[in-house]
Amino acid sequence: MSRISAAVWGAVFAGGVLGAGLRLLIHELIGSGAAVDPWPTLIVNLFGCLLLAFVAAFWQERVVRDWLKAGIRAGFIGTFTTFSALMIELFVSLYNGNVLWAIGLLVVSIGGGWVCSAWGYELGQMAAPRRQRVQS
């Protein structure tokens, strides 16, 4: 197991603060105020899929510092998106007898996450500058 540097820890912490803060802001701006509100969570998670796939593709052929990768992926995107909120929203929907709603939310979350990941990856590939190959 490798030691995690102070720079990586700091970047994850800073990214986490920003990601969680942005998620809270989105919930405040578009949420209904209910204890369980699936719309902001769905939007945040789908955008997070797109963003994570974008940076994965964009950085694929680049040397990126460990602290930056960790700060954006684990810190910012990791706290911005939320699997646990999706699970409680599914549970509460099922508990309240809204089976079709829960199934729909699950299908849209997984299917939409896959589509957003595909879009993000393609956008990242298009945005990444291509390295010139040297002919020998």
Q: Provide the 8-state DSSP code for 96.
A: T
E strand residue ranges, the chain: none
Nearest one of 17, 19, 109, 11 to 64, comparing CA atoms? 11
How many Å separate Cα 113 from the centre of its chain? Answer: 9
Whole-angstrom distance, CA of residue 28 vs CA of residue 34:
11
Is 81 part of any known ligand binding site? Answer: yes
Is 82 part of any known ligand binding site? Answer: no
Binding-site sequence positions: 78, 81
Residues annotated within the binding site for Na(+) are 78, 81
